[in-house]
Amino acid sequence: MVERSAKSIRKAQRNLDWALESKALFLERSNSLVELGFKTYQEYLISPFWKNIRTRVLKEAKDACRLCRRKAWQIHHVKYDLATMKGENIVTLVALCGECHKLIEFGKRGRKASLPEANHRLRRFLRRERWDRKQLGYDPWK
């Protein structure tokens, strides 16, 4: 019973940490948008500026989802710092298919995840993929 209680406390602490980090990331995104001259994130996403960045990320990924290798058409922002939002740091932009992006952003229960929570899920799935590749003895992504 004590072990279960400790696990519950760790989970509650992690959720609190994610909530605090999420607020800081939202502020960072807002500041980046202002610096780039956009009023809203939606305005940024429909701009030719973003479409150019998105095209570069998809081309770099060879139009393949980072998780399942199907055709990617969406991009997950791992960070919202100015370099990422400008497209100067595309390492923090991940090409995903719609299904994988939905799984990362909403999970199985359909609740929208915070960015730290979504990134945690993405890392978890990427670790699983690396494990699967070790079991295969080769990298099917190359």
Instruction: Read off the pLDDT of residues 61-95 as tens digits, 9 standing for 90 and up.
Output: 999 999 989 999 999 999 999 999 999 999 999 99
What is the Cα 4 distance to its own chain's centre? 30
Q: Are 95 and 75 in contact (CB under 8 A)?
A: yes
Asked whether residue 44 carries a pLDDT value surpassing 70, the answer given is yes
- Answer yes or no: are the C-beta atoms of 96 and 66 closer than 8 Å: yes
Mean pLDDT of 85-106: 93
Q: Provide the 8-state DSSP code for 137.
A: T
Rounded (5°) CA angle 137-61-46: 150
Place of tokens 């932009």: 93
**Lookup: tokens for 39:** 């009023």
